[in-house]
Amino acid sequence: MNSNQHRVIGFWRGWSIAVGCAIGSGIFMMPTILAPYGMLGFFGWLIAGLGSILVALTMAQLVIRMPKTGGPYVYVNEALGSFSGFIIAWTYWIACISAIAGISIAFVGYLGFFIPKISDSPILSLIASLLLVWAVVLLNIKSIENSSRFQLISTLLKLLPLLLIIFLGASNLTVSNLPEFNPTSLHPLSLLGTVTTLVMWSFIGIETATVPADNVINPQETIPKVLIASVLTILTIYILVSFAIALIVPAKELIDSTAPFALAASKILGSTGGTLITIGALVSTLGSLNANTLTAGNLSLAAARDGLLPAKFISLTKSGTPIFTYLLSGTFVSILLMLNYTKGIINAFVFMAMLSTLSTLIAYAFCAIAELKFVHTNKKSQQKKYAFLISFGTFLYAIFAIWGAGIEMIMYSIILIFIGTPIYLFKTEL
Residue 201 backbone phi and psi in degrees, to 5: -55, -35
**Alpha-carbon span 269 to 55, nearest angstrom:** 38
**Alpha-carbon span 92 to 71, nearest angstrom:** 10
Q: Which residues in the chain land under pLDDT 70?
A: 1-8, 20-21, 24-26, 69-70, 143-152, 154-155, 208-209, 211-214, 341-346, 427-430
**Alpha-carbon span 23 to 158, nearest angstrom:** 8
Can you name the residues that pair with 9 across neighbouring β-strands? 216
pTM of the model: 0.73
Confidence at residue 133, expressed as pLDDT on a 0 to 100 scale: 93
**Alpha-carbon span 430 to 418, nearest angstrom:** 17
**Alpha-carbon span 285 to 322, nearest angstrom:** 23
**Alpha-carbon span 372 to 199, nearest angstrom:** 26
Are 213 and 27 a contacting pair, CB within 8 Å?
no
* Three state DSSP letters for the chain: CCCHHHCCECHHHHHHHHHHHHCCHHHHHHHHHHHHHCHHHHHHHHHHHHHHHHHHHHHHHHHHHCCCCCCHHHHHHHHHCHHHHHHHHHHHHHHHHHHHHHHHHHHHHHHCCCCHHHHHCHHHHHHHHHHHHHHHHHHHHHCHHHHHHHHHHHHHHHHHHHHHHHHHHHHCCCHHHCCCCCCCCCCHHHHHHHHHHHHHCCCCCHHHHHCCHHHECCHHHHHHHHHHHHHHHHHHHHHHHHHHHHHHCCHHHHCCCCCHHHHHHHHHHHHHHHHHHHHHHHHHHHHHHHHHHHHHHHHHHHHHHCCCCCHHHHCECCCCCEHHHHHHHHHHHHHHHHHHHHHCHHHHHHHHHHHHHHHHHHHHHHHHHHHHHHHHCCCCCHHHHHHHHHHHHHHHHHHHHHHHCCHHHHHHHHHHHHHHHHHHHCHHHC
**Alpha-carbon span 369 to 381, nearest angstrom:** 20
C-alpha distance from residue 80 to each of 212, 307, 366, 367, 413 (Å) = 21, 16, 9, 10, 20
C-alpha distance from residue 114 to each of 27, 108, 121, 124, 277 (Å) = 20, 10, 14, 14, 12
Confidence at residue 132, expressed as pLDDT on a 0 to 100 scale: 92
Residue 322 backbone phi and psi in degrees, to 5: -80, 90
Instruction: Give the CATH number for residue 21.
Output: 1.20.1740.10
Domain extent, residue 118, equals 4-429
pLDDT tens profile 364-396: 999 999 999 998 887 777 778 888 999 999 999
Are 355 and 94 a contacting pair, CB within 8 Å?
yes
Residue 310 backbone phi and psi in degrees, to 5: -55, 150
Confidence at residue 2, expressed as pLDDT on a 0 to 100 scale: 45
Are 288 and 24 a contacting pair, CB within 8 Å?
yes
* Tally of structural domains, the chain: 1
Instruction: Print burial letters for 269-306: b (CB count within 10 Å at least 16), e (below 16).
Output: eeeebbbbbbbbbbbbbbbbbbbbbbbbbbbbbbbbbb
Are 140 and 330 a contacting pair, CB within 8 Å?
no
Can you name the residues that pair with 216 across neighbouring β-strands? 9
* Residue of 347, 288, 348, 279 whose CA lies nearest to 110: 279
**Alpha-carbon span 301 to 314, nearest angstrom:** 6
Largest CA distance in the chain: 64
Are 122 and 342 a contacting pair, CB within 8 Å?
yes
